Amino acid sequence: MYVISKCLLGHNCKYDGGNNRNEAVIEFCRTHSYIAVCPETAGGLPAPRPPAEIRGKRVVDKEGRDLTFNFREGAYGSFLDCLQEAAAREEHIDGAILKANSPSCGYGQIYDGTFSGKLKAGNGIFAQILENDNIEIITEKEKIKW
């Protein structure tokens, strides 16, 4: 089973109310077992909402509100949902395809917290939880290798 960011499948959960539909990811899901997640909406955040970035150890939106609780709650809740779904299906989580640069799902690089479009090394909160559990992660920007 694979963990997939909902926005990549065309769900309108992105901060601006849209999505990041990716045909390669959708095609992959046609032939692989998966669970779709959006840790941000799972954490109670609406779509649309102001963009948010990780600044230090906090997640703040462009208006200065601290959303760290929502991001953590959604990330841990989504992770538990993935584990429960894998157990229910009697499957193993083989990997994840997550939205690049996101404060939840970004892997390897995320926005730097200045809302300037600049990137820094790091992982989003959900991606870090998956990495800590040794789940292989790629983003939609990479060639799907499974």
pLDDT of residue 64: 97
Q: What dihedral angle (degrees, nearest 10) is formed by the CA atoms of 142, 143, 145, 146?
A: 90
146 falls within a domain: no
Domain holding 79, by residue range, is 2-139
CB 95 within 8 A of CB 44: no
Question: What is the band of 31 on the pLDDT scale with cuts at 50, 70, 90?
Answer: very high
Tell me what the mean pLDDT of segment 8-23 comes to. 98
Angle, helices 68-89/125-132, rounded to nearest 10 degrees: 40
Q: 85-105: string of b/e by CB count within 10 Å (b at 16+)?
A: bbeeeeeebebbbbbbbbbbb
Summarised one tens digit per residue, pLDDT across range 75-98 is 999 999 999 999 999 999 999 999
Tell me if 110 is assigned to some domain: yes
Does some domain include residue 53?
yes
145 lies in some domain: no
Number of structural domains (the chain) is: 1
DSSP state of 70: H
Q: Per-residue pLDDT tens for 33-71?
A: 999 999 999 999 999 999 999 999 999 999 999 999 999
Q: Which two tokens stand for residue 10?
A: 């065309």
Residue 144 lies in a domain: no
